[in-house]
Structure 1
Amino acid sequence: MIKFIAPSAVLALVAMAGGAQAQEVSWAGPYAGANIDYSRANVESSGVGRIDWLSETPAFRSDVFSAWSADLEGESFGGGLFAGYRRQFSSGFVVGGEVRYDYLSLDDSRMTPQRAPHPASPGVTYAFGNSYEVQQSVSANLQLGFAMDDFLGYAIVGYTTGDVSGTAEVLGANGYSKFGEGSDWVSGYNFGFGGAYRVSDRMSVTAEFVHTELDSLDFTTDYRPGSTFAPPAFDYAEDFSVEPNYNTLRVGVAFQF
């Protein structure tokens, strides 16, 4: 009987100690923190002509908008603030919600040399320009993960809205000049994965990789004052869109309350 009780008591003490340790490294509850990050973007800037452009040949229209549209890039270092709440289950499964603000300052621009867009107009050359900027973003994310003592690994999926601006312009050697710009908060989504490591009772270090896709920012071009071939005799219109997507690697520090 004693031989049975003694090992049982030891096992009970070990289980209690294990439970106490699990409690000490619990990831449940509210937390907040800050991070630094590196982002790299791939942004599609594309334009199409309105009905006025139908008076031109399909080949000329295709060549103009092929030259005018561009895939822009860009990279930047930034930072952010975040806060959230997690619930941890006895199995180690963790679910949480988080809101965050990130300063990005992603941007890129280009201006082509003067070029003849098509043999249909050999005597006229044009320079085409595009630009974009993603200044900042706000996100609401869901985290699904698993805790292993001092380490928490998790997947991320959420909603993002970003402060996006864009421009498009064309400059002809004959004085033809048009410009368009837009700026707005654009919605989208993000997904990725991350991990946190507990370095003290209340503090952890975090690392995340997140991909963000934003919807398009749409705007139109217009003639600059003094442009040649201006309305009403010559009144072409273009619709442009800027569609950003970017990858972000961030590291930070979080404090649990």
Structure 2
Amino acid sequence: MIKTVLLASIAAIAISTTTLAADADFAAPEAPLAPVEETPGFSWAGGYAGAHTGYGFGDASIDRFGSASVDGARLGGFAGYNWQFSNGFVVGLEGDLNYDWNDGKLAGVNVEGGLNGSGRIRAGYAFDRALIFAAGGVAATEFKAFDPCFSDEGTAIGWTVGGGVDFAVTDRIFTRLEYRYNDFGSTKVAGADVDFNQHVVNVGFGVKF
């Protein structure tokens, strides 16, 4: 009888120990998850450079001769630097140098644009990889007039204003679509006052440093 009671007690203790161990395993706390690192957003801050092409729709007014359309393709390059703030606001400085194959004819005189460039202040807002901007500053261009009997040229200095959008295709490469209005003011060519203004559409790409 005593032997039976001892065996029963041992069996009960073994069953209780096993149950407690199973409960302890089940209630064991899970290992903490590793912290998730946040991917930093894209930034437009820093230097950049690129190239663009486009088309210019110009209008030249020559004293005593009237006005003429001076249109044509263009090719150029640009470089600049951006500062970006935590609220997404972006400001920057940019310069560009271009050559315009603009030409027209007024009263038998050929008129052409040529080498031109600008220095501009830019301001805009970044929507992650898209940067919408406006820009304005100083612009200058060569202007030529010639016919079979004479040739002369001058440099006109004025202002430029416009806007566009840059879009980052990768962390370093971006594309650009831009509109500008250039008012180059007046210059003397062959003794006559020449006023030249221009609407320009540019497309291009750039590389961030």
**Alignment TM class, shorter chain as reference:** 0.7 to 0.9
Matches of 1:138 and 1:164, distance apart in 2: 13
Structure 1: runs of 5+ lacking an equivalent: 1-11, 48-68, 112-128, 170-178, 221-238
Cα distance in structure 2, aligned partners of 1:242 and 1:186: 9
Task: Say yes or no: does 1:163 pair with 2:180.
Answer: no
1:92 and 2:44 aligned? no
Q: TM-score, normalised by structure 2?
A: 0.78
1:45/1:243 contact within 8 Å kept: yes
CA distance in 2, matches of 1:89, 1:254: 21
Equivalent residue in structure 2 for 1:202, among 164, 172, 175 = 172
Instruction: Give the equivalent residue in structure 1 for 2:121.
Output: 142
Q: Is the CA contact 1:72–1:109 (under 8 Å) kept in the aligned structure 2? A: yes
Q: Does the 8 Å contact 2:93/2:122 carry over to 1?
A: yes
Asked whether the equivalents of residues 219 and 240 of structure 1 are also in contact (C-alpha less than 8 Å), the reply is yes
The corresponding residue for 2:6 is none
For the residue of structure 2 that corresponds to 1:195, the secondary structure is strand
Q: How does 1:71-220 map to 2 (within 5 A)?
A: 71-111=67-107, 129-167=108-146, 181-220=151-190
Q: Residue 126 of structure 1 corresponds to which residue in structure 2?
A: none
Write out per-residue CA displacement over residues 98-118 of structure 1, whole angstroms, 9 at most, x where no aligned residue.
11101112111134xxxxxxx
Moved over 6 A (4+): none
Unaligned residue ranges in structure 2 (runs of 5+):
1-34
Q: Secondary structure at the match of 2:109?
A: strand
- TM-score by length of structure 1 reads 0.64
What is the deviation of 1:134? Answer: 1.0
**Structure 2 equivalent of residue 172 of structure 1:** none
Q: What root-mean-square deviation, in Å, do the aligned CA atoms of Structure 1 and Structure 2 show?
A: 2.2
Q: Percent identity?
A: 27
Residue pair 1:70, 1:130 contacting (<8 A) in 2 also: no
Deviation at 1:95, TM superposition (A): 0.3
Q: Summarize deviations over 1:21-59 as a string: whole Å, max 9, x none.
A: 32xx10000000001111111111113xxxxxxxxxxxx
- Residue in structure 2 matched with residue 38 of structure 1 by the alignment: 55
Greater per-residue strand proportion: 2
Specify which structure has the bigger relative contact order, considering alpha-carbon pairs within 8 angstroms and separated by 6 or more residues: 1
**Structure 1 residue aligned with 2:44:** 27
CA contact (8 A) 1:137 1:162 kept: yes
**Deviation of residue 195 (structure 1)?**
0.5
Q: 1:182 to 1:216 in 2, by over 3 A?
A: farther
Tell me, in whole angstroms, the C-alpha distance in 1 between the residues paired with 2:199 and 2:99: 14
Structure 1 or 2, whichever has the larger Rg, is 2
Shift of 1:94: 0.3
Q: Which residue matches 1:246?
A: 198
**Once the two structures are superposed, what CA deviation does each residue of 1:86-134 show, in whole Å capped at 9, x if it has no partner?**
00000100000011101112111134xxxxxxxxxxxxxxxxx333211
Q: Tell me, what secondary structure is at the counterpart of 1:201? A: coil
Distance 1:242 1:70, change over 3 A: same
